[in-house]
Structure 1
Amino acid sequence: MSSATLPPARDLPQRRADTLDRLGSGFQMWLATGSDGHGAHLIPVAYVWNGSTLTTATFRRSRTVSNLRARPTARLATGDTADVVLIDAYTILLDVPNIDVASAETYAKVSTDPRNAPDMFLYIRLVPKRILAWNSLAEFSGRTLMLNGSWLDTPVD
């Protein structure tokens, strides 16, 4: 794509609104975890967004869960390489009986319901600490919309 065909850069309020819309209307993401000696581990998962956190689930005995027990941070991505949202998040592992009903019900609409096999699954609550979003090179500068868990009034990078 040449610079002549790049979409115009969105202002910060529009980028934030578009990011929130994407998180609220989507349900699939890439989830990356890592721990010492294992390197990066990337999986596709379904998710639900409640307006401030994301919830997903995976197998209790998975490498993802093992990585998160060692280092409770993750990076997730949704969108494509030309229009992406990246989130660095702190993670909380939740046994199936400990998830709130609203999250469990919403998650069951987009993926396998962990409540049907609670000994096999764990929920993962992802608390965003940094959110980046851009839809072209025109937005690459200033792509950070949230830092340290707070939405920014001015973009940084």
Structure 2
Amino acid sequence: MSSATPPPARDLPRRRADTLGRLSSGFQMWLATGSDGRGAHLIPVAYVWDGSTLTTATFRRSRTVSNLRARPTARLAIGDTADVVLIDADAVLVDVPDIDVASAEAYAEVSTDPRSSPDVFLYIRLRPKRILAWNSLAEFSGRTLMLDGSWLDKPVD
């Protein structure tokens, strides 16, 4: 059995650029929410990135929405375990008629259009507070790219 050679570690600017590229070109992520006593709840969702926030949507009566009403924070995961982006984000629930047209149009290109059933769906606007990214153990140290909503100029972990 042969083992794969891990990719070389990227510096912080390269990792940030790769992460932004991934956010811009991708459209699927895992969304984890939780509330007191119920444990974590994880769902796959589509998303769109506008350069500062991610927008997704889910069923108005879902456990995800219930969790976000109780605790408006989420963890997002993009990629696989060998090349991952993790995002801790503040969440805002947005009624379908209240979403901006650009976000609604972009989201409709990657998933079911919530505007077709506004009583069934809600949009979720996710503002990153912390972003981590790594593609191997060599990148585990220094994996934090954003902290408290600001991109870092130097590694902190």
Calculate the TM-score normalised by the size of structure 2.
Answer: 0.97
Could you tell me which runs of 5 or more consecutive residues in structure 1 were left unpaired when the two chains were aligned: none
How do residues 10-49 of structure 1 correspond to structure 2 at under 5 angstroms? Answer: 10-49=10-49
| 1:82 aligned partner | 82
| 1:143 aligned partner | 143
Q: How much does 1:62 deviate?
A: 0.1
| C-alpha distance in 2 between matches for 1:155 and 1:126 | 24
How do residues 46-65 of structure 1 correspond to structure 2 at under 5 angstroms? Answer: 46-65=46-65
CA RMSD of aligned residues (A): 1.1
Q: How much does 1:38 deviate?
A: 0.9
Q: How much does 1:117 deviate?
A: 0.1
Could you tell me which runs of 5 or more consecutive residues in structure 2 were left unpaired when the two chains were aligned: none
Amino acid across the alignment from 1:17:
A
| C-alpha distance in 1 between matches for 2:42 and 2:35 | 12
Q: How much does 1:156 deviate?
A: 1.5
SS of 2:68 mapped into structure 1: helix
Structure 1's consecutive aligned runs of 4 or more residues displaced over 6 angstroms after TM superposition are none
SS of 1:37 mapped into structure 2: coil
Calculate the TM-score normalised by the size of structure 1.
Answer: 0.97
Q: How much does 1:89 deviate?
A: 0.1
Amino acid across the alignment from 2:19:
T
Amino acid across the alignment from 2:12:
L
| C-alpha distance in 1 between matches for 2:128 and 2:155 | 17
| 1:96 aligned partner | 96
Amino acid across the alignment from 2:55:
T
| C-alpha distance in 1 between matches for 2:154 and 2:148 | 14
Q: How much does 1:37 deviate?
A: 1.5
- The alignment-based identity, stated in percent, is 87
| 1:107 aligned partner | 107
| C-alpha distance in 2 between matches for 1:28 and 1:94 | 20
| C-alpha distance in 2 between matches for 1:155 and 1:88 | 17
Amino acid across the alignment from 1:137:
L
| 2:72 aligned partner | 72
| C-alpha distance in 1 between matches for 2:62 and 2:106 | 23
Q: How much does 1:6 deviate?
A: 1.6
